[in-house]
Amino acid sequence: MKKIDAWLFYSEYSYNKKIESGYIDEIVRKAKEEYGINLEVKNIHKFTLISGEENKLLYDGVEVTELPKIAISRRYEIYFFRQLELLGVKVFNNVQSMIDARNKMKTHQMLANSCVKTPKTVYIVPKRTVMNIKYEDVSKLLGKKFVLKWIYGSQGTFVHLVDNENDFNELVLKYQGKVLFQKFIEESFGFDIRAYVLGGEYVGCAVRKSSSGDFRSNLAKGGSALKFDKEDEIKDLAVQAAKAVNLDICGVDILVGKDGYYICEVNAIPGFKSISKVNSINEKDLILNLIRKKLDEK
């Protein structure tokens, strides 16, 4: 039997939906016939990790004895993917880069260290028992209106536009001080650019636009996707951002300001819905191209 080249993981909900739609049968067939890849798609919630005298994996209660060369992570499950790395599987994105990308403050530190332009970002070290983060201190640095984010949020969730002390205090308490503050790029209200970088190469982008007057443009918040006709202006910036955080699979969110482009965030588990809506790029081919590239690397 041919050895397994790669595993691709989805949550149980996504896995079942993709089984029903025929997606999994199609990507497995496509991998074999068009890319020469022996691919298996797994429900990540059927795995059990064993650690003690040695690290092991069970799948659906049965010990795994044959591991793939490569694993593609489509979900943040740090302990699971760490186990795979310890067992010698190359994971994309690698675990440390996923940890870095999940923490928004660490991401901005890494971007700034690589001279990648981002909105001015502020983090005040919180105390455990007393709220020491004050609206007036942040407003002196960023102006009266600014963006407040929980450092672990995604899909536009836990991102707020703040312009008064009452809302500020309520949100800081809600997130127990684990928040960062960013300069509000007013020119980009209600829209941004989502660019995609896979394996160090720019593969395309789309404009995401709010459909409800929200300052956030995420498709998960009801936004729509439109074609961007100035891709040459943002290609290098997107690649630099992915490289700064060491991501092989990266969604780069770009804001448009009066003085140029800003990297707002990077996403280590990006959805491909926006890019597939505006051009012929197919999610299956994006994933399989990356696997083929990594298998061919010495």
pLDDT tens by residue, 40-82: 999 999 999 999 989 999 999 999 999 999 999 988 899 999 9
Which candidate, 221, 216, 196, 220, places its Cα nearest to that of 206?
A: 196
How far is C-alpha 139 from the chain's CA centre?
29
Residue 221: how many other CB atoms lie within 10 Å: 16
Confidence at residue 278, expressed as pLDDT on a 0 to 100 scale: 84
Q: Which residues pair with 262 in a beta bridge?
A: 255
Alpha-carbon distance of 272 to 237, in angstroms, equals 19
* pTM listed for this prediction: 0.89
What is the sign of the dihedral through the CA atoms of 253, 256, 262 and 264? negative
Domains, the chain, in order of start with CATH, read: 6-92 (3.40.50.20), 121-184 (3.30.1490), 187-281 (3.30.470.20)
List C-alpha distances in Å: 31 to 34, 94, 182, 271.
6, 22, 42, 20
Strands 62-63 and 70-72 come out as unpaired
Low-confidence stretches of the chain (pLDDT < 50) are none
Alpha-carbon distance of 132 to 153, in angstroms, equals 22
